Structure formats: C-alpha cells, structure tokens
Copies of this chain bind each other. A is one copy, B any other.
C-alpha cells in the first residue's frame, strides 16, 4: 500500500455492500485506483479485504483499508441494524467523510440504509427534507436530466424548486452546461396548464433566479427541450419504469420482425442499443444522493467491478467539481429568497 499524496481524491468504498462483495468491490477498487488521481479507502472487515487484495497485484496502488468491526448479516433489517451496529462498514465510511479523512463514499449496499446513515452522519443541505437518489440523464443527447425520479412521491411546490436547483447545479457542474434551461413537466405547454402542484410551482419558478423556460410535455423529455426537467418523484418513477417496459416490448417486437432479415449479431447490437436507451437506471448504475451534505454514491446491489470503478469515478468528479459546495450555497440562497 502507498500512503496518500494529499492530491488524490479520497473515496471511501463500502467493501461489504452489494451482491458481489467483497470480491468484485475489491476488483473494482483496484481498477479505479489504477486510473490514478484516486485514493481508494476500502472499508470493511480488514482480514477479508486483505485476503482479497492479496489475490491481485495492488501493492503500488493508492489503496488503503479501514477496519469496520461489525458486519450486517443477511436477514437483518439493514436500517434497524444501523442502530446497534455503529461500526458496520457504511457508518464507518460516512464518519471518514465527516471527519475529513475521506472526500466521498461509494456503496453498493442497501439503499435505505446508506441513505439513513448518510443523513444521520453528514446531515441535510439547506431546505431539503428528504434527499433523493439519482436524477436521471435521459440518453437522448447528453443534455437532459430529470429530478426527482422516485425518492419524493408526495411533493410540495417548494420541493420541486429544490429539485430544480439541484438539477441546475448538476447540469453546470457535472455536464458543463453554463446556463441550463429548467422546465416543469406538465400536461400542456401553456402557463395555465398543470395540476395543482405544478401550477403553484410554476409561480415559484418564475420568481426564482433559475433559467426557467416554462412547462414541457411528456414528448419533450426525449427531444432535449430543456436541460433540467422537474417532476415529482411519483411521476418520475412511473416514467422511468414505463420507459423500461416500452423498451422491452419494442425489442421483442423487433426481434420478431427482423429475425430472418438481419444477421443475429446485428439484431443483438440493435437490441443492446435499445436496451441502453430505455433502461436508464441500469445504465446509470446508481447515482449520487442529492440533498445530503457530502458526496455519497449509491450503486445497484448487482454491480460488478466495472460499475464500481465507474461509480468511484463519478464520485471523484463530484468532489473535483465541488458539486456539494455549489448545492449548499445555492439551496441556501433559494431558501433565503423564498422566505423573504
């Protein structure tokens, strides 16, 4: 092992979380560390991690191990386990960030547990009641991100405003869009269209400093009509899952129609392309928690080494681009302007 050089981004990785922990987590950590600029801190049962590391040639990489003396077993309620196992890998990793011994946390563990632990240890950003996982980039060009995609099913207009602030900061910091356009998802383009929630939010958005361009409709999501599209988490969840279902149906239909007319490898390539286009959550592999005062990435439990390496890279990017600092400032500014 090599000690930190003070310039790398320090990412605490939950070595015990996910369906393929610790093998694939350690492998992914090695992949990420090989790319440079990252110190990976593997958090978990020290002996287990070291014996996994011993299977690879990791001696010259910036990888450290921090012991977590408790393990949450299969069958335990993960969120309840947090209460009596404060030294499990997830809370230990969160404390590393809290104590400035790490810059970010990446976990493929139980979403609810990671979320609760992050909120308890790192706290919420200004005005945020319930942090959100994700925010989904619709792969219809690099330029449309949607919030909220499922964490907040019952929203107030002010929640939508927070999603807009989060989305704008994400677009600027993570996607390099200088003045991202923001729109409300509604059932019509005109100002008067919408349900009670979106109509009230429309008035808040108009008064804000956001680059608000008004309502967009369902078909606009795939047309790049706005950089940030805001909706409540119920609508967002239904949309993302419908997108998957429609994608599956179209792939099935095309395989039926094109079966004899295209070589199998071409058909597979088309199926893959359409799968990636429509299974956005799978392709994203997880997401940052938005609204927590720290960089925390939650990935899918089924993630393997490449997804873990990608997640570490995304967390590193969020640290380098000062995403949380930006969010903290802008959410506080929004709170102030709304309360006036």
Contacts and interface: CB of A to CB of B under 8 A. Distances in A.
A219 interface: yes
Nearest to A141: B249
Given A196-B154, A237-B218, A239-B238, A274 B245 contact: no
Interface stretch (A121-129, A253-261, A328-336): A253-261
Interface in A225-263: 231-235, 237-250, 253-254, 257-258, 261-262
B254 A238 contact: no
A315 to B, nearest CB: 26
B257 A270 contact: yes
Task: Tell me how many chains of this kind the complex includes.
Answer: 2
Contacts of A244: 218-219
B254 A241 contact: no
A320 interface: no
A218 B234 contact: no
Contact of A249 (B186, B195, B222): B222
A245 B223 CA distance: 7
Interface string A203-231: 00000000000000111111100000001
A218 B242 contact: yes
A221 B243 CA distance: 10
A239 B241 contact: no
A299 interface: no
Given A235-B238, A237-B187, A238-B187, A243 B270 contact: no
Contacts of A241: 217-219
Interface in A31-66: none
A185 B261 contact: no
A202 to B, nearest CB: 13
Contacts of A277: 249-250, 253
A195 B154 contact: yes
5 contacts: A154-B196, A219-B245, A238-B239, A258-B270, A261-B262
Interface of A: 140, 150, 153-154, 185-187, 194-196, 198, 217-223, 231-235, 237-250, 253-254, 257-258, 261-262, 266, 269-270, 273-274, 277-278
Q: Top 3 A-B pairs ranked by shortest CB distance?
A: A218-B241, A219-B245, A218-B242
Given A222-B245, A246-B246, 16 more contacts: A186-B234, A198-B234, A218-B238, A219-B244, A219-B245, A221-B245, A222-B248, A231-B238, A235-B235, A239-B239, A243-B246, A250-B277, A254-B254, A254-B270, A257-B270, A262-B262
